[in-house]
Amino acid sequence: MQSFRSEIENPVVEKDILELERKISLFKEGKIDEERFRSLRLARGVYGQRQLGVQMIRIKLPYGKVSSEQLHRIADVSDEYSRGRLHITTRQDIQIHYVSLDRTPELWAQLEKDDITLREACGNAVRNVTASETAGIDINEPFDVSPYAHATFEFFLRNPICQEMGRKFKMSFSATDEDTAISFMHDLGFIAKTKTIGGKTIKGFKVLLAGGLGSQPRHADVMYEFLEADLLIPTIEGVLRVFDRYGERSKRAKARLKFLVKDLGLDQFLTLVETERKALAYQSYSIDTSKFEQEITFETLEAPSVSIEDERAYEEWKQANVIKQKQEGLYAVGVKVHLGDFYTDKARLLADLIKKYAANELRFTLRQNILIRHVREEFLPFFYVELQKLGFTEVGYNSTADITACPGTDTCNLGISSSTGIAAELERVFKTEYPEYLNNKEVTIKISGCMNACGQHNMAHIGFQGMSVKVGNLLAPALQVLIGGGIVGNGEGRFSDKLVKIPSKRGPEALRILLNDFEDNKEEDEDFLAYYDRNGKTYFYDILKHLSDTTNLKEDDFIDWGHDKNYVKAIGVGECAGVVIDLIATLLFESEEKLENATQAFKEKQWSDSIYHGYSAIVNTAKALLTSEGKKTNTQAGIIKNFDEVFVETKKIELTTSFSELVYQINKNQPTEAFASKYLQEAKAFYTTIDAYRKVVVES
């Protein structure tokens, strides 16, 4: 694994990869406990999968943007370290499966050759920043949100304020009021807006705060109706600092931002954000958009001559899958990717196609598809012929029959029933029985294998959630049917109502009942949501209720879609260190690492980063001592308060001030060199005090 070192030009990246390599060795030697190792590898895109001994690797691709060179690199890595399959996620990432843990540092190093990272693709950090795939080409957009999404990705990547939060943090940028990046279900969602002030057009965003899906979906609050673009980064940093300090850490199910904002109330949360303002490195942060405003260039100027064998099919494809761009004479081509899965042989040919005949850019979409950008009108027949050779001209891009589904029980540890299996069957039903929906973009169908909603089932017009149902001594795979969710627009959305749980094999029949009733009983020009609202939840429960009867199940009902054996409810088993670790010693060891990071950041004159690393070291050190006493450490704010009560006020630990006064200097001082130096020295002194105290306690 050492060979990659000389190939990495960025020393920060090299250090990161070497650290992963070192921690893998320590884990296998039993020197790091499973929980600590899991946190580290997740922050580096390495995710345990359902099958023992292999990992899922998530490749972080900001707003889904990929060049030909990057797609070739991803394909090469998948062939070398995995099985040649690429999976597009609902956050515009790429996942590859069945990777050996030992080879992950080498894999990462290979990706970095084309500026592709795994860093913070998983774990309790800022996840991939998503955006409307049509950003930059949308006829209706006030401006391109791509540079703002990119700047957000870059600013918070490896940023010390968001490395070890209580839970993950998700952000999205929508190009227009259609809100195709689904702002209302994000921790922070941004919708492009402009405002005229003194005759000058100002760029900004409507800001949505603390939305989320999962078992308890929450609609985001409006944080600001209009936030000027230069305040974007400082605002995000303020929110992240408050979440890091006050967010739940022990009770995982309550650790998302939505629960913190619900508990505090919006006004109190915003007050805490304002309190952090003085500590920020930037009160205003101007984002350079010039790289995204460069002239679009092409390698090939003349369109190759082709013959279209089926003109009708070609016209249907253009109507369903081709989007007119705001740039004159240019079009985007949508590729419907079944369940988000495609293979490296086709990926390479697609990469060559966009480099030579388009403008060398595609974007993976939130619907698990591909959008090829900047195709000249005269090149559309050629693209149709070439994409047809790859099987990439199936109509239905972003249509009702274009079903979103998470991996479910295929590879996910948390999957309860098969998402991909039922999705494939429902798509077959559309093709054979409801062809009129192959280009219908008014109804969305989404499927998740469990309550966590990776497939976004609880914000779909029609959603299915994987479950199980007990029948005597047997278990059968089941689906919760949900109806009535969707995107309203301008930051408004709806969550689906849960209707009824049915055996999975009855999923297609449930779909038929709903579609038939809609077609038979809808009023003129009535869309699906209006039809649902007019009839009400009870009406739909009544027409589906008979499908929940389990007294008449057949043998086939106990076999999940895509399987040939009886269903077994099984949650995947994660890695195990196999030894008992001294948790307190591990926490103190981590504090030492944080102090080293603070020292290094100070040497590099990164005052704000140094201060935050020092803050993390102080809190982590206090957590170690509180843990040794069996005290609660649910939140950083709670740790600060409890340490004063347990150790300082009782005189067990002698400090020159209260612990809270020591810690909260962080939001009462500007991030200057002088304060960074002072805070670093105090963090080191505190660690020395606690380490000495701990040694006395252990020896006695």
How confident is the model over 513-525, as pLDDT tens digits? 999 999 999 999 9
Q: Distance (Å, rounded) from C-alpha 184 to C-alpha 186? A: 6
243-262 exposure pattern, b = at least 16 Cβ within 10 A, e = fewer: bbbbbbbeeeebbbbbbbbb
Question: What are the distances in angstroms from CA 72 to CA 79, 114, 116, 347, 360?
Answer: 11, 9, 12, 7, 12
How would residue 578 be classed by pLDDT, with cut points 50, 70 and 90? Answer: very low
Q: Please list the residues that pair with 492 across neighbouring strands.
A: 489
Q: Distance (Å, rounded) from C-alpha 523 to C-alpha 539? A: 16
Give me the DSSP letters along 35-69.
Answer: HHHHHHHHTTTEEE-SSTT-EEEEEB-GGGEE-HH
Q: Which pLDDT value is given to residue 698?
A: 64
How would residue 699 be classed by pLDDT, with cut points 50, 70 and 90? Answer: low
- The pLDDT tens digits of the residues spanning 360-408 come to 999 999 999 999 999 999 999 999 999 999 999 999 999 999 999 988 7
- The pLDDT tens digits of the residues spanning 168-207 come to 999 999 999 999 999 999 999 999 999 998 899 999 999 9
Q: Which pLDDT value is given to residue 31?
A: 79
Domains 130-291 and 306-389 share a fold: no
Neighbours of 169 (CB within 10 A): 24
Q: Which pLDDT value is given to residue 579?
A: 31
- The pLDDT tens digits of the residues spanning 57-79 come to 999 999 999 999 999 999 999 99
- The pLDDT tens digits of the residues spanning 651-693 come to 999 999 999 999 999 999 999 999 999 999 999 999 999 989 9
Q: Which CATH class is domain 130-291?
A: alpha beta
CATH topology of domain 583-699: Four Helix Bundle (Hemerythrin (Met), subunit A) (1.20.120)
Mean pLDDT of the region 458-475: 92
Distance of CA 218 to the CA centre of its chain: 17
Q: Which pLDDT value is given to residue 590?
A: 85
Q: Distance (Å, rounded) from C-alpha 537 to C-alpha 548? A: 16
Please give the CATH architecture assigned to the domain spanning 2-112: Alpha-Beta Complex (3.90)
Where does 451-536 show beta strands of DSSP type E? 462-471, 474-483, 486-489, 492-494, 497-503
Q: Which CATH class is domain 404-558?
A: alpha beta
CATH topology of domain 306-389: Sulfite Reductase Hemoprotein; domain 2 (3.90.480)
Find the distance separating the first CA and the last CA of the chain, reported in whole Å: 44
**If you average pLDDT over every residue of the chain, what do you get?**
92
Strands across the sheet with 474-483, in order? 404-405, 445-448, 462-471, 474-483, 497-503
pTM summary value: 0.92
Q: Write the CB contacts of 233 (distance below 8 Å, at least 6 apart in sequence).
A: 151, 152, 155, 282, 285, 287
- The pLDDT tens digits of the residues spanning 143-155 come to 999 999 999 999 9
The domains of the chain are located at 2-112, 130-291, 306-389, 404-558, 583-699
Q: Write the CB contacts of 118 (distance below 8 Å, at least 6 apart in sequence).
A: 44, 45, 46, 57, 58, 59, 60, 104, 108, 111
The single residue listed with the structure tokens 């899965």 is 341
Instruction: DSSP letter for 573, please.
Output: P
